[in-house]
Amino acid sequence: MPQLIDLVDRMLTLNPAKRITAKEALKHQYFQARIFIMMPIIEQDAQTPKDPPIQKKVKQEQHKPLLQGIKINKCM
């Protein structure tokens, strides 16, 4: 249990420069326990999600009332 507390403490460090990275976390003593040794670790590079294709181009006039409402709310 002390290993888990240490890992969580290092993951919750406010300073990003001092915070444990994902790779470091996977190498942490907590994950060296027998239960985790039996599990395969899949390392893949994360891919940036693609924007969904735009089905129909929207004209600016269609959004004009909405945009005007936003401008009014920001001024108040």
pLDDT, tens digit, for every residue of 23-34? 999 899 888 876
Mean pLDDT of 38-60: 68
Can you list the pairs that 29-37 forms with residues at least 24 positions away whose Cβ atoms lie under 8 Å?
A: 29/3, 30/3, 30/4, 30/6, 33/3
Using DSSP, how many helices (H) and how many strands (E) does the chain show?
4, 0
Mean pLDDT of 28-54: 72
